[in-house]
């Protein structure tokens, strides 16, 4: 990008026109840093203008770009969370984001994002009140069925609250304003949840300004948050509060954390308040306070069956059966989990045989996993049961859980899964009361003596 020939203390043209997109918490963090760099605390009350990007008034934007400040000095004009750069391909991501906000009890954010989605989809309030046909148009496929209850709740509150459907804005008018080259005293910042890089407006800003993706750094071997990135963010907050945290507590926190930075910071702040005057944050503190938002109820059953504890497995089973279309989906998930455990058990006695220790910590495991992958690059392939392709922490947990099951027990459980599959598909009980079949299966999975009982039954 070319830079304007301006005085040294002035921003370059790329700095005066910026687009920040991605994780909303990280975007706002970047905006705060930019504003602090341009405006003094005294100037921010008069020279910092924020416009609603979901319902952008291009006329108001033009006025703010062309009218000098009454108090002089530089100005920052922020078009916040605009939909100008979002294409239809990003609509599903926004729907998921609205659902995520709702489940996190952030109603205001859920309604704001939902309004943006409606605008992009070309839907209005009349569509929401005339029936449920809008669900399939807004969120096509089987996903709509699974989340229909949540979406209907959001839509109901959206209508009752008198919220406005978002407007994508006049892209051509915004292009003209940018082409008019706003004053050097103005810094124009757009923020967005997502962008379609094929859009003409995006390309203009990319050429004439600065585009920054504010995203959570992900694991190399998976889609979760990078462990080093996670620890850096958490320790920054904890150290600023004058606290310390141990490795085990961080392990538990990481296992429970998802990729939403706002929720992560909120949970850490809650944890700091919980420990009070104590300086050390323990694993017990994390388990008591830090909410598990990494997995939804749909996948909670996977972790439950790996614990082989009936007090965890039955509640997870009942919750899962509420949201699946048929118990066979639950059965398939459980079967896939035990196939992975069998693969993990095999890894313990082959590739990790020389390195693995029953009490190995995650920090000790990371270099071991790296060494095994370096020694066997041909086994790192994406696939449902290619455990070496997993992120380090997921692989570590699978290997730890695999220690709970010997191969005899895993084989017996796989046979029990096959029996349950046959019963669900062909017996009267399977058709009339499939929950009973699944409950019996859970009893067998959680019984450590099941394999021996089964062997005795076969002999007799």
Q: Which domains does the chain have, with CATH numbers?
A: 13-85+168-214 (3.40.50.300), 88-160 (no CATH), 227-289 (1.10.8.60), 297-457 (1.20.272.10)
Rounded distance, CA 184 to CA 322, Å? Answer: 58
Q: What is the pTM of this model?
A: 0.56
First to last CA, the chain: 81
Number of C-alpha atoms within 13 angstroms, CB side, residue 323? Answer: 17
Long-range contacts of 141-147 (CB under 8 A, 24+ apart): 142/325, 143/92, 145/325, 146/298, 146/323, 147/95, 147/99
Q: Which of 252, 231, 6, 198 is nearest to 85 (CA)?
A: 198
Backbone φ and ψ for 258, nearest 5 degrees, come out as -100, -145
Rounded distance, CA 99 to CA 266, Å? Answer: 18
Residues in the chain: 460
Task: From first to last of the 460 residues of the chain, give the pLDDT tens digit.
Answer: 333 333 333 445 558 899 999 888 899 999 999 999 999 988 888 899 999 887 788 888 888 888 777 777 889 999 998 888 877 667 777 888 888 778 777 788 888 888 888 887 778 888 887 766 677 667 655 445 567 778 888 888 888 888 878 765 677 888 888 887 767 788 999 998 888 888 888 999 998 899 999 988 876 655 567 888 999 999 999 999 999 998 999 988 887 777 778 888 888 998 999 998 999 999 999 988 887 654 445 567 887 888 888 888 888 888 778 767 788 888 998 999 999 999 999 999 999 988 898 888 877 888 999 999 888 888 877 665 678 887 777 788 889 889 989 899 999 999 999 999 998 888 777 677 888 899 999 999 999 888 777 766 665 5
Number of C-alpha atoms within 13 angstroms, CB side, residue 59? Answer: 0
Rounded distance, CA 135 to CA 148, Å? Answer: 7
């Amino acid at each position: 990008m070319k830079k304007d020939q301006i005085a040294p203390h002035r921003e370059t043209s790329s700095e005066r026109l910026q687009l920040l997109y991605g994780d909303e918490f990280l975007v706002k963090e970047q905006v705060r840093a930019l504003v602090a760099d341009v405006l003094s605390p005294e100037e921010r009350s008069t020279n910092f203008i924020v416009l609603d990007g979901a319902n952008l008034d291009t006329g108001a934007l033009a006025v703010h770009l062309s009218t000098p400040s009454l108090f002089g000095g530089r100005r920052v004009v922020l078009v916040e969370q605009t939909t100008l750069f979002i294409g239809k391909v990003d609509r599903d991501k926004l729907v998921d984001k609205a659902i995520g906000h709702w489940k996190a009890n952030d109603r205001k954010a859920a309604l704001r994002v939902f309004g943006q989605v409606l605008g992009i989809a070309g839907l209005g309030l009349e569509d929401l009140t005339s029936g449920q046909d809008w669900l399939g148009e807004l969120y096509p496929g089987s996903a709509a069925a699974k989340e229909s209850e949540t979406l209907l709740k959001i839509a109901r509150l959206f209508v009752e609250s008198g919220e406005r459907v978002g407007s994508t804005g006049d892209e051509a008018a915004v292009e003209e304003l940018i082409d008019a080259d706003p004053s050097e005293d103005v810094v124009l910042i757009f923020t967005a949840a997502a962008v379609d890089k094929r859009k003409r407006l995006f390309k203009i800003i990319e050429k004439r300004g600065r585009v920054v993706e504010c995203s959570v750094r992900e694991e190399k071997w998976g889609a979760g948050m990078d462990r080093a990135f996670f620890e850096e963010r958490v320790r920054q907050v904890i150290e600023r509060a004058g606290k310390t945290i141990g490795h085990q507590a961080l392990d538990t926190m990481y296992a429970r954390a998802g990729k939403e930075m706002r929720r992560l910071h909120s949970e850490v702040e809650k944890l700091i308040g919980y420990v009070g005057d104590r300086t050390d944050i323990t694993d017990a503190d994390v388990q008591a306070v830090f909410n598990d938002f990494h997995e939804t109820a749909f996948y909670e059953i996977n972790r439950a069956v790996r614990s082989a504890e009936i007090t965890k497995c039955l509640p997870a089973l009942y919750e899962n059966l509420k949201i699946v279309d048929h118990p066979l989906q639950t059965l398939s998930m459980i079967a896939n989990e035990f196939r992975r455990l069998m693969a993990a058990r095999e890894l313990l006695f082959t590739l990790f045989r020389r390195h693995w220790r029953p009490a190995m910590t995650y920090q000790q495991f990371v270099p071991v996993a790296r060494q095994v992958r370096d020694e066997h690059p041909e086994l790192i392939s994406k696939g449902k049961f290619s455990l070496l392709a997993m992120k380090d922490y997921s692989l570590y947990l699978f290997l730890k859980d695999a220690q709970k099951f010997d191969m005899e027990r895993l084989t017996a459980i796989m046979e029990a899964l096959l029996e349950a599959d046959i019963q669900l598909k062909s017996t009267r009980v399977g058709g009339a009361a499939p929950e009973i079949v699944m409950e019996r299966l859970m009893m067998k999975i959680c019984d450590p003596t099941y394999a021996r009982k089964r062997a005795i039954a076969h002999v007799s």
